Structure 1
Amino acid sequence: MQSVAEALDRLRDLAASPTVATLADAFEAAGFELALVGGPVRDAFLGRSTNDLDFTTDATPDEILGVVGPIAEAHWDIGRAFGTIGAKVRGHTVEVTTYRADAYDGNSRKPEVVFGTSLEDDLVRRDFTVNALALRLPGLALVDPSGGVEDLLTGVLRTPAPPEVSFGDDPLRMMRAARFAAQLDFDVEPGTLAAMGALAPQIDRISAERVRDELSKLLRTGEASRGIRLLVDTGIAARVLPEIPALRLEIDEHHHHKDVFEHSLTVLDQAVDYEVARGRLDSPDLVVRLAALLHDIGKPATRRLESGGAVSFHHHDMVGAKLAKKRLRALRFDNDTIKAVARLIELHLRFFGYTDGAWSDSAVRRYVRDAGDQLERLHILTRADVTTRNRRKADRLGFAYDDLEERIARLAEEEELAAVRPELDGQQIMSILGIRPGPVVGQAYRYLLDVRLDEGPIGEEAARERLLAWWAARDGA
């Protein structure tokens, strides 16, 4: 956290940058107000770098275009209906938005867009006091109508208006509270937290797409588990991601197993750590984090209480993959993300058989083939899934996975494992067997691929002999 003096120095430097100075001069010359607002101002106090430059003004969208057009390398008005004009000025992307005074009618999933005339009124309509800060340009006057600087200094999230009003205007702000708590490592003020619990059902007014986007932003933070816990504790997760609170399985005095909810949050934390360790800090991987969070959601449906106090979750990997697909579709995630997350959940238990006995090279090849382009993510998820407090067991699993990765690398170097194909392609199979295109060609191809995975390269002539023997045995059957 920066001191106020240090933050103001950072803001002065930002205001003097070519992009900001150019915009400030242009709006002043045109007779309009302009202020740097929100994240850039907040981050100056937190000592964080920012790539976003957001401005607000009393100019209408048409007037903004009139000012920005002559000084921008490019501009676009995709957000024009909401008062926002984007532009590229001096090599940097900026957004300029007309003062807003939006309100929900209590039923609609989208706000009624109403433009305002006052910077102070615009700021008190924003989500949290720490985001309701502005720097007037070019005069460099800090505007803080709701005590945002004090809340930044104490690490508190609070709404500028009463939380019931703020969350009533836009219920998605309750999910933003969870995201900013995770992103900024802030605590939610008790009254705001209580309102989140009381108003949780209001999140149903928000479209699946907006919920998806906010959840994705939360999961991309460095402390995503903190935000997820907040959504669960307030009852919001029960409405947008009910599979997660369902992981809080009841444990009786006779049957014991690890806390699946806490385990899942730990896996999420460890997946983030492994991303960083493997050099992925600059690009948070949403697929890995979704898979880590959802990998055990099949356990409630597959839980069985066995004799002797044991608890089993047979096939929870396959059940969980199906549940994940269903939930992610409901949240309107794209097909590639859904497919990748489901595949990782299907495969997340595969490695644990590796420690029961040495895998053959063919088993390693199958592991790589089944993971496909998700192999690096599967490495991260599998390592993150080790949460035992037994240090000897954790070390044994860690060393075993080190060995598996080394074998994968060695085989890949020897055989170009990622591109393993049978020695014969579909055209050759049809020519050798004298058959036309059809399902049999695929069966023959898969047989030869299994041979390749089991035995490694055998050469084209040997593959031809094996194919003919397979064909003869098939005809005999």
Structure 2
Amino acid sequence: MPNANHDSHTPPTSQDRQPTNALSDVQRRAVSELLRVSPVADDLAARFREAGHTLALVGGSVRDALLGRLGNDLDFTTDARPEDVLKIVRPWADTVWEVGVAFGTVGCLKRTRNGREGAREYQIEVTTYRSESYDRSSRKPEVSYGDSIEEDLVRRDFTVNAMAVALPEKEFIDPYGGLEDLAAKVLRTPGSPEDSFSDDPLRMMRAARFAAQLDFDVAPEVVAAMTAMADRIEIVSAERVRDELNKLILAPYPRKGLKLFVDTGLADLVLPELPALRLERDEHHRHKDVYGHSLTVLEQAIALEEGEPDLVLRLAALLHDIGKPKTRRFESDGRVSFHHHEVVGAKMTKARMTKLKYPNDLVKDVSRLVELHLRFHGYGTGEWTDSAVRRYVRDAGPLLDRLHKLTRSDCTTRNKRKAAALSRAYDGLEERIARLKEQEELDSIRPDLDGNEIMEILGVRPGPVVGKAYKHLLELRLEQGPMERGDAVAALKEWWAAQS
């Protein structure tokens, strides 16, 4: 085993570390395969050695290699200080980034080419051995550099990210039992979780994120520390919190991470609208479990994705019912109502996403989907007129495909007959939209006359009256469909005459 005493959280000496040959053949092959598909690593290591420094592949790169999922993002650690790293990589890399130098990290891009695979690009980060901690009143880490890889690994977030491969020797370094935890699919911290989370409180959110990404369980002592220290997340910037939340939501198993996020109390401080969905129920007033329903809607929306994970769709699915707690009413017949929760929810979504520093376009799109998610339920069994269908398409705009997915995902009833009826009704709506699109170019609904034509026909200059006329013609277009030019001109003149 790499280190049978990793639970002590005491960094081992070089004599304590197990010899390289303790690594199983399977593990050795995994490391060799990592280096075979990443020849850039040996090339870079040789340059560090020539300069009198060490280099090791580290962290997520080693973890992902052992899981058989390594990409082209490679993380390295070294005893070289940042200024020395820059001297080594500048003549070698195609592009170098210095934005992380203040925190000991140099980033670079390296392109390689071989006959079989063609060109490949590697995103590389080289970080000096370091330790960092937060002042309790500060959001910025204080960085100090270390002199050994064991010191560096103990400051990393989880044992499965605290493994390294020293280069060019290809020695596997695992002083804190990361390989055992990887096999057990469990997240532990190299040192005590309290020290780890005190150093960087964002690691509490990373625990939830890695649970969602890797489908790992989080060790009980780590969960306990997250729960006890949840309020420490408040010193972390909104931007860093938002980025971790995005990674969690975009992960393959977001439900697992979100449950941990809520159960530990982190969500109460970051996204309080989510735990608020756990509405109390009693025997007299029954309603669906809104929290569980929202997580299921998220999973069902993910199942409808095509291609890459869709952050807009996933956020809308998670947040679509956050207006329900504020709009809940107990009716005299025992029912519970949530009138206009979609409107209230859209406003709450906008406020929360703005506070988390999301880009304006993303805030606008997610809020709009939340606002529109109930619109379909007025469709019934097809009673909408063509005008209503046009308005549905117009209001959704470029979000129509996502609205289709969100609306379908919002059906979580266990009543198979009801679910089938809803599915058939939405099939019918989509078919009507497709037919109208063929006939009328629904994706770009505009009046049959543009602004210049309106000014020419009415003999007016640019001003508010042109906008009013345009809006009137747009309403006619939505109600009646496309008009011949002569009919549109006549309608415009009739409207104009009524204005005087």
Matched, 1:142 2:142: no
Question: Aligned pair 1:176/2:206, yes or no?
Answer: yes
Indicate the residue corresponding to 1:322 in structure 2. Answer: 347
Which residue in the other structure is 2:35 paired with? Answer: 15
- SS of the residue corresponding to residue 450 of structure 1 reads helix
Cross-structure match for 1:256: 286
> Which deviates further from its counterpart, 295-304 or 15-24?
15-24
Q: Which has the higher helix share?
A: 1
For the residue of structure 1 that corresponds to 2:80, the secondary structure is: coil
Pick aligned residue for 1:308 from 333, 341, 345: 333
Q: Is the 8 A contact 2:382 2:425 kept in 1?
A: no
TM-fit CA distance, 1:431: 2.1
Q: 1:455 aligns with which of 476, 480, 485?
A: 480
**Aligned equivalent of 2:130:** 100
Please list every run of at least 4 consecutive aligned residues from structure 1 whose deviation after the TM superposition is greater than 4 angstroms.
none
Report the secondary structure of 1:96's partner residue.
strand
Q: Which residue of 2 aligns with 1:432?
A: 457
CA RMSD of aligned residues (A): 1.4
The CA deviation at 1:45 is: 2.1
User: 1:244 — aligned with what?
Assistant: 274
For residue 417 of structure 2, the aligned residue among 383, 387, 392 is: 392
Equivalent in the alignment of 1:54: 75
Q: Which deviates more, 74-83 or 4-13?
A: 4-13
Q: Which stretch shifts more, 408-417 or 95-104? A: 408-417
Match of 1:339 among 364, 367, 383: 364
Say which of 81, 86, 102 aligns to 1:81: 102
Map of 1:284 onto structure 2: 309
Q: What does the per-residue CA deviation read over 1:104-163, in whole Å, with 9 as the maximum and x for residues that have no partner? A: 122211110111111111001000001111111110111111110000011111111111
Letter in 2 for 1:49: L
Identical-residue share of aligned pairs (%): 61
The equivalent position to 1:30 in structure 2, one of 45, 51, 57, is 51
- Per-residue CA deviation, residues 47-101 of structure 1 (Å, 9 max, x unaligned), is 2232311111111111111111121122121111111111122332211111111
| Aligned partner letter, 1:60 | R
Q: Give SS of 2:351's match.
A: helix
Instruction: Look up the equivalent residue of 2:418 and give its one-letter code.
Output: K
CA offset at residue 352 of structure 1? 1.3
- 1:353 matches 2:374: no
Secondary structure in structure 2 of the residue aligned to 1:341: helix
SS of structure 2 residue aligned to 1:103: strand
Native 8 Å contact 2:382 2:428 kept in 1:
no
Distance 2:131 2:467 in 1: 62
CA displacement at 1:178 relative to structure 2: 0.4
Q: Distance in 1 between matches of 2:35 and 2:139?
A: 37
For residues 313 and 383 of structure 2, the distance between their equivalents in structure 1, rounded to whole angstroms, comes to 27
Cα shift at 1:404: 1.8
Q: State the secondary structure of the residue aligned to 1:88.
A: strand
Report the more deviating stretch, 56-65 or 70-79.
70-79
Pick from 394, 402, 410 the counterpart of residue 377 of structure 1: 402
In structure 2, what residue type is equivalent to 1:42?
R
Distance 1:21 1:413 in 2: 58
Q: Deviations over 1:310-336 (max 9, x none)?
A: 111111001000001110111011100
Q: What SS does the corresponding residue of 2:91 show, helix, strand or coil?
A: helix
Q: Is the 8 A contact 1:321 1:345 kept in 2?
A: yes
Matching residue of 1:468:
493
CA distance in 1, matches of 2:494, 2:249: 53
Matched with 2:393 is 368
- Matches of 1:451 and 1:6, distance apart in 2: 71
Q: Secondary structure at the match of 1:70?
A: coil
Q: Secondary structure at the match of 2:413?
A: coil
- Structure 2 unaligned residues grouped into runs of 5+: 1-22, 113-120
Q: In the alignment, what sits opposite 2:470?
A: 445
Separation (CA, whole Å) in 2 of partners of 1:12 and 1:460:
72
- List aligned pairs for 1:201-216, cutoff 5 A: 201-216=231-246
Gap regions ≥5 residues in structure 1: none
What secondary structure does 1:387 align onto?
Answer: coil
* Whole-angstrom CA distance in 2 between matches of 1:103 and 1:243: 30
Give the drift of 1:466.
Answer: 0.8
Partners of 1:4 and 1:319 lie apart in 2 by 58
Work out the number of aligned pairs and report it.
Answer: 468
Q: Residues of 1 paired with 2:25 and 2:173: CA distance?
A: 15
Contact 1:172 1:206 in 2 (8 A): yes
> Taking structure 1 as the reference length, what is the TM-score of the superposition?
0.95
CA drift of 1:374 comes to 0.9
Aligned to 2:116: none
CA distance in 2, matches of 1:395, 1:6: 49
Paired amino acid for 1:433: L
Contact conserved, 1:38 with 1:134, CA < 8 A, in 2? yes
**Contact 1:271-1:288 within 8 A present in 2 as well:** yes
Distance 1:302 1:70 in 2: 62
Q: Secondary structure at the match of 1:97?
A: strand
Q: 1:123 aligns with which of 143, 153, 166?
A: 153
Which has the larger displacement, 187-196 or 89-98?
Answer: 89-98
Equivalent residue letter for 1:206: V
* Deviation (angstroms), 1:371: 0.5
1:267 match: 297
User: Following TM superposition, by how much is the alpha carbon of 1:257 offset from its aligned partner in structure 2, in angstroms?
Assistant: 0.6
- The letter of the residue matching 2:259 is R
- Superposed displacement of residue 449, structure 1: 1.1
Equivalent-residue separation in structure 1 for 2:363 and 2:28 (angstroms): 44
1:157 and 2:187 are equivalent in the alignment: yes
Residues 267 and 387 of structure 1 are in contact (CA less than 8 Å); yes or no, is this contact kept in structure 2?
yes
Contact 2:381 2:425 in 1 (8 A): no
- Preserved contact between residue 294 and residue 318 of structure 2 (Cα < 8 Å): yes
User: 1:245-295: per-residue Cα shift (whole Å, max 9, x none)?
Assistant: 1111111221111011111111111111111xxx22xx2111111111111
Distance in 1, matches of 2:340 and 2:374, equals: 10
Q: CA deviation at 1:26?
A: 1.2
**Letter of the aligned partner of 2:282 in structure 1?**
D
1:63 maps to which of 77, 84, 88: 84
Residue 356 (structure 1) shift = 4.5
Q: Give 1:7 shift.
A: 4.1
Contact 2:56 2:165 in 1 (8 A): yes
